[in-house]
Structure 1
Amino acid sequence: MAQRLWAKDAKLWGDDPKHQEVAKNRLGWLDVMGKMRKEAPAMTSFAKEAAQRFKHCVLLGMGGSSLCPDVLVRVFGKQSGGLDLRVLDSTAPDAVRKAVEGFDLQKTLFLVSSKSGSTTEVSSFYRHFRAELDKGKDAGSHFVAITDPGSPLEDLARKEGFLRVWPNPPDIGGRYSALSFFGLVPAALLGLDVGKLLDEADAVALASDGRVPIQENLAARLGALVGGCARRGADKLTLLLSPKLAAFGGWIEQLVAESTGKSGKGILPVDGEPVSEPASYGEDRFFVALWLAGEHAPEHEKRVQALAEAGHPIVRWELPSPYALGGEFLRWEIATAVMGAMIEVDPFDEPNVTESKEKTMALLSQAQQAGGKLPPAEPALRANGLALFCSAEHANILRKAGGSPAQWIGAHLALGKPGDYVALLAYLTPDDGLHRQLNELQGLVRDATRLACTSGFGPRFLHSTGQLHKGGPSTGVFLQATSDGGKDLPIPGQPYGFATLFAAQARGDLEVLQARGRRALRVHVEDGDPRKFVEAVREAVKLARR
């Protein structure tokens, strides 16, 4: 299988000519390191020049164009001579504000990062910040584009005087683009050594060659083990990462979920769920424990060892340094391609991602006709500052549990059966503190139900686990949390603002889940305080344990 992968044999993922054509045009990531090696001096030189003019950088991206840079920011941070870089991948108005909070816009560089060049969120971010900078001089020179050749974004960049355009190799899909310009230009701007990241990737490429025996080929072995166990029901790939590598889980989550979650199949990555005792888990888990040297915590190691001794499948390895992430990006890309072959899906398409996009656009069309706001929806229950929405049939089931939001949420979670999973879909303003609270909820839900529990911020996850939610097996119990996301911000050239876009994405996601017969409940925080949702879920978990 590894030999066929390196030979770029598109038949590895089935005999369907359409899938073979997709795969054939999406395998550039296998040898992109050589191309990027030639471009490394240009990236380094550009970063040094940028640092002479700018102090800050904001990457405007979504999905594959934002997750790798987010990992690099959180693992490495700003290095000597680099820029203070933030990633914006939320349409919540407050998230857009926070992206430049404390930054001098005249000293800020914006990376407009989109493979297609037409991503709604990225286009909206650009419109907003371009309008802010148009108040000064040379606004266009504050922007840099990373996109496919010939995309609408490349045309826009040439027309509006961007500082630079980095045309990415077009034979690389977004989620496989970490070692291309999408990941390496932000790395250079942070002040990282791009050559070191590529060295690590080259070392993994050599160790993953098709001639390397499977017992020594960690990438191919990992893919075969995860895919093989998924075929036997252990389809919850649970990530146990050391603290400094925690952000890497979000990148793995998108890669695996969007690549494998289709045709009623899928491998669900479980990221951020606190490790627990073996009795807390069902028989549907496959564990990966990945550690950075020097970060071992004895108590955590004991729990990982207990999982292995209890018979759970688990693979463990250690990274010698943060720069080893350059190799891990490639290792997981190879492993994911193998997973796709093992469960017989095409890991390079995303057939269901467009469903939520189309529903969002339909809702925005309604908003345009209604003066820029979405028509109000009537909740099935309103209490304690929360408004709950679901189908009429689902409301009839939940109403039997009582009249409080916690009782409804508890009844909703109780619908899960062994082998199912719970997904917390947070259309709330992203915040590190809230992220930790969602991770805590994952553990509480898991302990009360023995079901795997994931969490993610919307709309980011629409370009990640959203594909698996719609295209994968119908085993999810979805709990969506929404808020207005803060005071509205205009999107120049559009009849609606970010608050309406944010709301339309949440509502569109819910409606697609419902149309597919998924078990879905929306909890709207009416005053915008996410603690009300968190406390309601905590109370629901207590009720479920009684």
Structure 2
Amino acid sequence: MKITKKDFKFGRFEPDVKRKFKNYENSDIPERIYSKDFTVWKNETEYEALIKNRLGWLMLPLSMQEKSDEINSFVKEVKGNGFEYAVVLGMGGSSMCPEVCRDTFGVRKGFLNLFVLDSTDPQAISDIENSIDIAKTLFIVSSKSGSTIEVDSFLRYFYAKAEDIFGADAGSRFIAVTDPGTYLEKLSAELGFRKTFINPADIGGRYSALSFFGLVPAALIGVDIVRLLKNAEEVMNVCFENSISVNPAFAAGVLASALSELGVDKLTFILSEKIESFGYWAEQLIAESTGKESKGILPVEGEITGKANTYGRDRFFVNIYLKKDKINKKVKPLFKKKFPALNIELDDLYDLGGLFYFWEFATAVMGAELKINPFDEPNVKESKDNTSNVLDYYEKNKKFPEQKSISGNKKIQIFPGNENDALNILAQKTGEVKITDSIKNFTDKYTAGDYFAVMAYLNKTEKTEKLLRQLREILRSNFKAATTIGYGPRFLHSTGQYHKGGPDKGMFIQIVCEDKIDKDIPGKNFSFGILKQSQAAGDFESLQMHNRKVIKISVGADVNKGLKVIIKEFKKALK
């Protein structure tokens, strides 16, 4: 991985940033981070244990090399026992890194074909089930606790499927990755799991890429995990350096936070095609770490790179590319227009190990500069609690709490985020309002510096992704605004924290649908479809509680057709 001083572009903010950097030339922040000095982030003693118990990731490139033989021996064992598929059952930090490794490295011949399940959408579960042979599949139950409702539901579903085939030996088709002393560790022993990998307890989920959570799935697809870790070790050694001029991760963290203080708080990733899924992981890391106490730096990934005049002045671009690909031609005009930027050149795909560590350290520095605790997620629990309340209501009443739409037709329904919204009041007096008027009323609330977050409680497919990208492009081109897409419920463990705990700059578009199929969850009184709808309702309620600007759109049973209608209506509303 190559990063030099020339790769840091300060743009129109050069005088301000250079002054900031000068103050950090002989800083002791990196040294204090490695000594686990909690006062880097918070001075209050109540934070001491909370922060110190989340810094185990700092030495993982070294400590996990000692575990590589254990992992590789296990991989050899399962390959020899006829396993051909592996499915990660996880959410958030436990599922992001495996997905990035699979998309980046692919599956080596003779290793296991890996799938990642982090959605409660019934169709998503069906798609994975139809893509594997359960008799030849190893299920990886990944969770710090094991009590997360999504992971518990995934386990219940696929354990029952394995039990139908293997009876009392069903547990041999499962392994667990979890913390010591957890519910999942106990359950894995009771059910006779093939193996349980006990992860260090002092690592938060989003900082766990280089732990068992990321390395076990990576090894199963044939990634050379020792090489990956050695690459991360090289970056780790540089991160020990106190001088900002020789420690690029330190510099990146200071730069991002300095720019955010100047209103440039949309950190936008531009990635080579082969490594574009790295954006998923980085998005969770930065959003969930910095989005709290009404502060934060919004990571933007997956946007189509546009011309300079399609962006607002709140953008900081990070361009990561493989050496063989060279720098993206669309990036250079952004430099000429004085947008701040950082270029990172990767020698090969194994620089991904160093890239994980680089951004973990840079994000920790961002937290220090923002004076927040980057290792907790105080607002994530809100949506979980709201989901539980909705599920309790459903189990008692066999229906969801009533919510009246203000506009729509038989297939498309729109729900307001605020009961006192002018159109909501009008709808109560006159009946339904036109879809176009509802959308315009929502988008009229936009102010400079806001971002649009599309929260899609849908099954992610190529067609759906293409349509949602069209919606992103419409919003960006009309407002020069940053846009994000999150698929529910996985984004609840990612950008969901930023949505509620970060700055009040979000324009939230929640999209739900009517599921064509459903899947029962063994031992529960609700299905996956009901769970997904409850999560959407709980998240919507949480945004309302924070007085966020939000609109909810139901696109009916034909998702792609409904999205096309919505795109058409947005175009009409924004003429």
Shorter-chain TM-score: which interval? over 0.9
* Residue of structure 1 in register with 2:444 after alignment: 414
| Matching residue's letter, 2:207 | Y
Distance 1:376 1:499, change over 3 A: farther
Q: Check conservation: 1:176, 1:255, Cα contact below 8 A.
A: yes
Letter in 1 for 2:354: G
2:374 aligned with 1:343, yes or no?
no
| Residues 39, 477 of structure 1: alpha-carbon distance in 2 compared, 3 angstrom cutoff | same
Q: Which amino acid aligns with 2:252?
A: L
Instruction: Structure 1 unaligned segments of length 5 or more: list them.
Output: none
Please point out which of 67, 78, 81 is paired with 1:39.
67
1:169 corresponds to = 200
Cα offsets for 1:223-276 (capped at 9, x unmatched) = 010011111111111111111111100100000000000001111111111111
Tell me the residue number matched to 1:145.
176
> Measured at CA, do residues 487 and 36 of structure 1 come closer, stay the same or move farther in structure 2, by a change above 3 Å?
same
TM-score by length of 1: 0.96
1:281: Cα distance to partner? 1.5
User: Residues 330, 489 of structure 1: CA spacing in aligned structure 2 closer, same or farther, 3 A cutoff?
Assistant: same
Instruction: Tell me if structure 1 keeps the 8 A contact 2:423–2:433.
Output: no
Structure-1 separation of matches of 2:223 and 2:573: 49
Map of 1:383 onto structure 2: 409
1:321 matched to which residue of 2? 348
Correspondent of 2:312 among 275, 282, 292: 282
Q: Which residue of structure 1 lines up, in the alignment, with residue 20 of structure 2?
A: none
- The aligned residue for residue 24 of structure 1 is 52
SS of alignment partner, residue 130 of structure 2: coil
TM-superposition CA deviations, 1:298-348 (whole Å, max 9, x none) = xx42x3111111111111111111111011000000000000011111100
**For 1:367 and 1:353, how far apart are their aligned partners in 2?**
22
Q: Deviations over 1:476-531 (max 9, x none)?
A: 01000001343111111110100000000001100110111001100012224234
Partners of 1:531 and 1:258 in 2: CA distance:
33
Question: What one-letter code is carried by the residue in structure 2 that aligns with 1:445?
Answer: L
**Alpha-carbon contact 2:88-2:116 (below 8 Å) kept:** yes
**Residues 398 and 411 in structure 1, CA contact (< 8 A), matched pair in contact too:** no
Supply the AA of the counterpart residue of 1:145: A
Seen in structure 2, the aligned counterparts of structure 1 residues 244 and 436 have a Cα distance that, compared at 3 Å, is farther
Q: Distance in 1 between matches of 2:264 and 2:425?
A: 30
Q: What amino acid is aligned across from residue 387 of structure 2 in structure 1?
A: T
- Equivalent residue of 1:291, what SS? strand
Residue 15 in structure 1 maps to residue 43 in structure 2: yes
What is the CA deviation profile of residues 100-122 of structure 1, one whole-angstrom value per residue up to 9, with x for unaligned ones?
21311100110000012211100
Alignment of 1:346-357 (within 5 A): 346-357=373-384
> C-alpha offsets along residues 20-62 of structure 1, whole Å, 9 cap, x if unaligned?
3211110000002222111101101111111122111110000
Q: 1:188 to 1:492 in 2, by over 3 A?
A: same
Maintained 8 Å contact 1:230/1:343: no
The residue that corresponds to 2:302 in the other structure is 272
How far the C-alpha of 1:159 sits from its partner, in A, is: 0.4
Q: Supply the RMSD in Å over aligned alpha carbons.
A: 1.7
Following the alignment from structure 2 to structure 1, what is the Cα–Cα distance between the partners of residues 127 and 425?
37
Does the 8 A contact of 1:480 with 1:523 survive in 2?
yes
**Contact residue 467 and residue 563 of structure 2 kept, 8 A:** no
How far apart are 1:86 and its partner, in Å? 0.4
Paired letter, 1:366: Y
- CA distance in 2 between partners of 1:221 and 1:535 (Å): 45
- For the pair 1:196 / 2:219, whether they are aligned, the reply is no
Q: Report the alpha carbon displacement of residue 375 of structure 1 after superposing the two structures with TM.
A: 4.1
Q: From the superposition, tell whether residues 199 and 98 of structure 1 become closer, same or farther in structure 2 (CA, over 3 Å).
A: same
Q: Distance in 1 between matches of 2:568 and 2:252?
A: 35
Counterpart secondary structure, 2:164: coil
Mapped partners of 2:145, 2:567: distance in 1: 38
Q: What is the letter of the counterpart of residue 182 of structure 1?
A: F
Distance in 2 of aligned mates of 1:255 and 1:536 = 31
* Displaced runs of 4 or more, over 3 A: 397-400
How many correspondences in the alignment?
Answer: 539
For residues 456-487 of structure 1, give each alpha carbon's deviation from its aligned partner in whole angstroms, at most 9, with x where no partner exists: 10100000000010011111010000013431
CA–CA distance in structure 2, aligned partners of residues 183 and 4 of structure 1: 27
Indicate the SS of the match to 2:229. helix
Matched, 1:254 2:284: yes
Query: Is the 1:426–1:456 Cα contact (8 Å) retained in structure 2?
Result: yes
In 1: Cα distance, 2:356 partner to 2:271 partner: 15
Asked if 1 retains the 8 angstrom alpha-carbon contact of 2:41 and 2:371, the reply is yes
Any residues of structure 2 matched to 1:390-469 within 5 Å, and which? 390=416, 391-394=418-421, 396=423, 403-469=433-499
Superposed displacement of residue 538, structure 1 = 4.4
| Cα distance, 1:306–1:395 mapped onto 2, change above 3 Å | same
Residue 81 of structure 1: how far off its partner (Å):
2.4
**Which whole-Å deviations, capped at 9, do the CAs of 1:167-191 have from their partners, x for residues lacking one?**
0000000000000000000011111
In structure 2, C-alpha distance between the alignment counterparts of 1:494 and 1:254, rounded to whole Å: 30
Aligned residue among 534, 553, 556 for 1:504: 534
Matched to 1:39, the amino acid is K
CA distance in 1, matches of 2:84, 2:536: 34
SS at match of 2:46: helix
Question: Aligned letter for 2:216?
Answer: V
Partner of 1:79: 108
Counterpart selection for 1:309 from 319, 329, 336 = 336
Determine the structure 2 residue equivalent to 1:135.
164
Task: Pick which of 240-249 and 381-390 moved more.
Answer: 381-390
Q: Secondary structure at the match of 1:65?
A: helix
Q: Matched residue of 1:145: which SS?
A: strand
Tell me what 2:13 maps to.
none
The range that moved more, 376-385 or 439-448, is 376-385
Per-residue CA deviation, residues 99-152 of structure 1 (Å, 9 max, x unaligned), is 121311100110000012211100000000111111122211011000001110
3-state SS of paired residue (2:361) = helix
The 8 Å contact of residues 48 and 81 in structure 1, kept in 2 or not, is answered as no
